[in-house]
Amino acid sequence: MTVPADPSRDLRTALAHRLTAPGDPWRAAFETVPRHVFVPSFHEQAEDGRWVTITPENPRYWEAVYSDRALTTQIADGTPTSSSSQPSLMLEMLHALDMADGHRVLEVGTGTGYNAALLSHRLGDSRVTTMDVDPDLTGAATRRLGEAGHHPAVRVGDGAYGVPDRAPYDRIIATCGLPSVPWPWVEQACEGAVIVVPIGWGVARLTIHGDAAEGAFLPGGAYFMPRRADAPAPDFAGLERTEPRPSRTATPVDALRHLEFPLSLTMPGYRFCTWNREDDGTVEGLGLWTPDGSIARVHADGTVRQAGPRRLWEAVEELHRWFPDTAPARDSFGITVTSGRQWVWLGDPRGPGWDLPPVSGTGGRVR
């Protein structure tokens, strides 16, 4: 039997052709860069909640690595902390960057290094800088990038600060979720530069003009892992010591569902859970919490209890007044970033909107 020199070649070609049309500037990169080198194994959650590691010996490995699937590549305390993003979403974000030869790019969220390899293939190693907060990941990514023949600058650190000594950048792309745009990125970007960044459960595309950045959200949803920060576990039992009040929103679960995207902008990093009756699954209560330690619980009888720095249910009620039945599409929202303030708007930068919180620890220039 003749063993093919490169068993992934046909799989790469099939994936590239499934994702891209002929003439797409990213087709050659997807055809050439071997995803399996960057994802030597991944983790899948079984029905009982346990994580199972899938390696190349498993027949499903090759099919999964060259399919249009996000793959979890790192888990800490049962929670995914890094992944190789869904290739079609990566491509959508690369298209949004509108890259040209000669551009210098910063990627925040190296993860496996696969996206950095695609960028290096397109632009050349010397024009690519990638960084991740996790030194284990940057170490492995550097090795795998080298194995695939790429040598971009790989840095360890909190991507919210950017990499000033490699600036200025024509393009900045983040592959972890942020509550707003870190001001250092605007300072490190050239005039006319493009920033593509997941904010809330969407991806914003901003252009730099003067000392501000502005742009709209892409139409599709995106659920990226949030920028790593220490978030306290929610203490729902402690809420019983707080004073209850009636909810002004009659249908809390429906409100959370249809307000998902705007809520992800007003309450960055929010999570929610429900408590359901064992016999018929009826929702008996729901809990809501954010990384700053704010927490709310709404009981089936319509009472609300809240604690922490922010009254989260007030934020839900306010948005529910704005959008009682359905929320506008993602791409009707936009975002403007200046040195003193940044805000999300609906339809027009001067239209209705709300301020975004700063990315903590980035110098406080964005309030």
Ligand X SMILES: C[S@@+](CC[C@H](N)C(=O)[O-])C[C@H]1O[C@@H](n2cnc3c(N)ncnc32)[C@H](O)[C@@H]1O
Q: What whole-number distance in Å separates Cα of residue 18 and Cα of residue 357?
A: 39
Given 87, 111, 184, 353, the residue binding ligand X (CB under 6 A): 111
Q: Are the C-beta atoms of 149 and 37 separated by less than 8 Å?
A: no
Give me the least distance between CB of 150 and ligand X, in Å please. 12
Q: Are strands 128-132 and 105-108 parallel, antiparallel or unpaired?
A: parallel
- For residue 316, state whether it binds ligand X (rule: CB under 6 A): no
Cβ-based nearer residue to ligand X, 137 or 344: 137
Collapse the DSSP code of 312 into the 3-class scheme (helix H, G, I; strand E, B; otherwise coil) and give the result.
Answer: helix
Collapse the DSSP code of 12 into the 3-class scheme (helix H, G, I; strand E, B; otherwise coil) and give the result.
Answer: helix
Cβ-based nearer residue to ligand X, 22 or 78: 78
Give me the least distance between CB of 169 and ligand X, in Å please. 15
The Cβ of residue 244 has, within 10 Å, a number of other Cβ atoms equal to: 16
- For residue 362, state whether it binds ligand X (rule: CB under 6 A): no
Give the footprint of ligand X on residues 56-85 (CB under 6 A): 81-85
Cβ-based nearer residue to ligand X, 132 or 170: 132
Question: Total residues at the site for ligand X (CB under 6 A)?
Answer: 25
Q: Is 41 an annotated catalytic residue?
A: no
Give the footprint of ligand X on residues 117-176 (CB under 6 A): 131-134, 137, 158-160, 175-176
Q: Are the C-beta atoms of 309 and 320 separated by less than 8 Å?
A: no
Given 109, 152, 234, 252, the residue binding ligand X (CB under 6 A): 109
Q: What whole-number distance in Å separates Cα of residue 22 and Cα of residue 290?
A: 44
Give the footprint of ligand X on residues 195-224 (CB under 6 A): 224
Angle in degrees, 0-180, between the axes of helices 114-123 and 135-147, rounded to the nearest 10: 50
Cβ-based nearer residue to ligand X, 119 or 194: 119
Q: How many residues does the chain have?
A: 367
Given 26, 66, 114, 333, the residue binding ligand X (CB under 6 A): 114
Instruction: Give how far the C-alpha of residue 101 lies from the chain's centroid of Cα atoms, to the nearest Å.
Output: 26
Rounded to 5°, angle at Cα 36 from 123 and 82: 80
Q: Are the C-beta atoms of 111 and 83 separated by less than 8 Å?
A: yes
Residue of 127, 215, 111, 205 whose CA lies nearest to 168: 127
Helices (H), the chain: 9-19, 27-32, 35-38, 59-65, 87-97, 114-123, 135-147, 183-187, 252-258, 260-266, 312-322
Give me the least distance between CB of 306 and ligand X, in Å please. 28
Give the footprint of ligand X on residues 7-66 (CB under 6 A): none
Given 17, 43, 166, 228, the residue binding ligand X (CB under 6 A): 228
Cβ-based nearer residue to ligand X, 248 or 365: 365
What are residue 336's phi and psi, to 5 degrees? -125, 135
Give me the least distance between CB of 130 and ligand X, in Å please. 8
Residue nearest ligand X (C-beta atom): 111
Give me the least distance between CB of 277 and ligand X, in Å please. 36
Catalytic residue selected from 82, 85, 180, 264: 85
Give me the least distance between CB of 20 and ligand X, in Å please. 17
- For residue 105, state whether it binds ligand X (rule: CB under 6 A): no
Cβ-based nearer residue to ligand X, 158 or 170: 158
Give me the least distance between CB of 261 and ligand X, in Å please. 19
What are residue 59's phi and psi, to 5 degrees? -55, -25
Cβ-based nearer residue to ligand X, 75 or 216: 75
Report the 3 state secondary structure along 254-307.
HHHHHCHHHHHHHCCCCEEEEEECCCCCCEEEEEEECCCCCEEEEECCCEEEEE
The Cβ of residue 141 has, within 10 Å, a number of other Cβ atoms equal to: 25
List the catalytic residues.
Answer: 85
Residues at the contact surface with ligand X, assessed by CB under 6 A: 81-85, 108-109, 111-112, 114-115, 131-134, 137, 158-160, 175-176, 224-225, 227-228
